Chain A
Amino acid sequence: MWCMLERVKPPRFRYCEARSVDEALALLAEHGDDAKLLAGGQSLIPMLNLRVARPAVLIDVNRIAELQTVETNGALRIGALVRQRRAERSEPVRAGAPLLGQALRFVGHPAIRTRGTIGGSAAHADPAAEIPCVLSALDAEFELRGGAGARVVGASEFFVTTLTTALAPTELLAAIRIPAPSARARSAFLEIARRHGDFAIAAVAVSVELAEGGAIERARICFANLADVPYRAHAAEKALRGARIDDERAVREAAEAAVGDASPASDLHASARDRLDLAKVLLRRALGAIAAGGSA
């Protein structure tokens, strides 16, 4: 991504603000592949500054009110443009998706989260990012709007590969729905990064539903930065079913199974092997934290 020097100012682009979803969709229909939606801009504008992204048209959706609502109606529905800082402070979000609340403090820094949006982070689809990881763990659904109408896709369909989602060039992400948590759900989000606020070397989002007595009825586990999309650890989820959360051997076996066929990248900050090892440690610790206190 960082290939050119001496560029820190955006290249010229054409800009307009959309005031409604329909307006945004009309603009997308007209400019399609040449256009990029500007939400919080906390990933896009750095890419513009460094001139690694050079869209001809920027459609600013920040003033579209209908994308900024948080609703609870059984499921939690978060408008794509809800800012991360607002979600972090939102009682309905904390109640309807405690795991998201736990993860948000790891997303950049406060002055990033005041601009960055939940939907923007999801649509950016960086596999190292916290929000896509949590949304995958929570089996979130993504409401996509296009000229031809609306459709809803699950997380596994939404995240296609690094920086690529199921969104067509003429579609926008309108909202994210998160199913209501069970009363017996407990969750934890843990991350290893070089510094607080950095992208994760590896991170894990865990939500478990516990029966009376501590047996795991259902576990949902997702890792960040272990693959080109958020990595759902289905094997570990299965291995944990029926086990007691404080059963160290079961937890250890599940952790060993967790990374399965993941093939993470190596970079300056960690080798692929480190990432696999760290993922196992994170899962053990996350389950341990839940066992110890209900959440981490």
Chain B
Amino acid sequence: MSAAQPSDAKRLVTLTVNGLERSGVAEPRTLLVDFLRHELGLTGTHVGCEHGVCGACTVRMDGEPIRACIVLAVQAQGASIETIEGLADGEALHPIQQAFREAHGLQCGFCTPGMVLAVQSLLEENADPSEQEIREYLSGNVCRCTGYVGIVAAVQRAARKLAGAE
């Protein structure tokens, strides 16, 4: 197979989002977060800095947390993306979402989608994290409102819920 020729033309990007196949048009330079928000209308993922620092745009790509403001949409061709819109089961909040509510782990809500998805990955990797492990894992997701008090408590509560202990 000969090398593809580089082009700046718009192209069709097809991927799976929250379990459904979706397609949209993107320029090569279109950031994944803009593609999700503007092309696919999934505005639950937020944009906080656009240089890969604040973590607000965290989504999951092929099961791993990533920052959607520093990944190109074309790179997600064929990938499986999970966003905040896919977490609840109908009207029933996911245990992590429930825990955030019960522990007052959110205020303005802007960091919340990225934070919740990061927590989902944390708890998949480590079902019973210590406070230090929670703080270290989430240190890439900035929250300007809560002082992380409610967030740390929410992760601990979510861990208990997912273990069936609450």
Contact = CB atoms under 8 A, between A and B. Distances in A.
Contacts of B5: 16
Contacts of B29: 9-13, 15, 48
Contacts of A46: 51-52, 70
Contacts of B28: 13-15, 58
B31 A9 contact: yes
Contacts of A26: 3
Most buried by A among B8, B121, B137: B8
Contact of A42 (B27, B50, B70): B70
Given A8-B50, A9-B31, A46-B51, A18 B118 contact: no
Nearest to B4: A16
B8 A14 contact: yes
B65 interface: yes
A197 interface: yes
B142 to A, nearest CB: 10
Contacts of B34: 9
B95 interface: no
Contacts of B118: 110-111
A14 B1 CA distance: 20
Nearest to A44: B70
B67 A112 contact: yes
A109 B64 contact: no
A109 B139 contact: yes
B112 interface: no
Interface in B1-29: 1-8, 27-29
Contact of B51 (A12, A19, A38, A50): A50
A112 B75 CA distance: 15
A62 B75 contact: yes
Contacts of B69: 49
Interface string B97-122: 00000000000000000000010011
B7 A110 contact: no
B131 to A, nearest CB: 14
Interface of A: 8-19, 23, 26-27, 31, 35, 38, 41-42, 45-46, 48-50, 57-60, 62, 85, 105, 108-112, 114-115, 195-197
Complex A-B, nearest 6 residue pairs according to Cβ-Cβ distance, in ascending order: A109-B140, A15-B28, A14-B6, A8-B50, A114-B64, A16-B6
